[in-house]
Amino acid sequence: MRRKKSRTTAPRKSTRSRAAERVLARSCVFGLLARALRYPDGELFAALQGGRWAAEVTEAARRSGVGARSPFLDELRRVADTLPAGLADLQNLHTTLFSSGGACPHQESDYVASHTFQKADVMADVAGFYRAFGFQVSSVTRELPDFLGTELEFLHVVGVKEVFARQHGHRAGASVCRRAQKTFLTDHLGVWIGVFRERVAHGGAGPFYVLLARLAEGFVRAQHIRPRALVRPSAPVADLEGSPPCSGCP
């Protein structure tokens, strides 16, 4: 009597495992981009200068599905070459660009809202996403909820939560995390990241932050989302249309 071959679920498990690995890798890239956008310290500068940051982003991006010939990976190779000479120079540049009243605001509400009430609505909506996943803005860094680095970090956190839910069989929880990431990219980060990159390119930022802004936009676009239209680009950016890029930009 012939024994029936038992069915195996190994291929299906393998597929699920690979999918979870891609989600975790994508989450890692978002987290690394968020770290690079915060005020630089000695640890970050050493990682950037020594190539460790770029290597970690490259590895995670490849595991997330970014193709080997992607311009995103090509630009990562230039990170160390675009850095200022020392940490103090990078810190001064960050302050000049991104501090209150600086050349390049890095809060969403500065790009999508025209008055104080609209800005409050944007920040409240972003903060609502955070609260839904137990995520609070640090009182130590004193960043606003719609700071670019915080929005990227939120996507990092929700990606990790999705992987946790997948690994523990919580399909509904994983689905909620996936929908939240897509909605957040469509309604928030994906809407203004391109305008932010334009502002940095014209803001005398120097090559490092110009490159970093391109990397952030490139990875967001790689998620194949269709963001809602930006109804009102910020006036300063509109004023810069057609002007030549800064002399120090690559």
pTM of the model: 0.83
Tens of pLDDT, residue by residue over 102-116, are: 788 899 999 988 778
Q: Is the CA virtual torsion 163, 165, 168, 171 positive or negative?
A: negative
Tens of pLDDT, residue by residue over 102-155, are: 788 899 999 988 778 888 999 999 999 999 998 887 766 667 899 999 999 999
CB 57 within 8 A of CB 33: yes
Tell whether the model's pLDDT for residue 200 goes beyond 60. yes
CB atoms within 10 A of CB 93: 18
Task: Tell me what percent of the residues of the chain surpass a pLDDT of 70.
Answer: 84
Tell whether the model's pLDDT for residue 246 goes beyond 50. no
Reading phi first (left if > 0) and then psi (alpha if -120 to 50, else beta), residue 140 is in alpha
Closest CA to 194 of 67, 93, 108: 108
Most distant CA pair in the chain, distance: 83
Tens of pLDDT, residue by residue over 48-70, are: 999 999 999 999 999 999 988 88
Residue with the bigger pLDDT between 153 and 202: it is 153
pLDDT at 238 (0 to 100): 33
> Please, which pLDDT band fits residue 74 given cuts at 50, 70 and 90?
very high
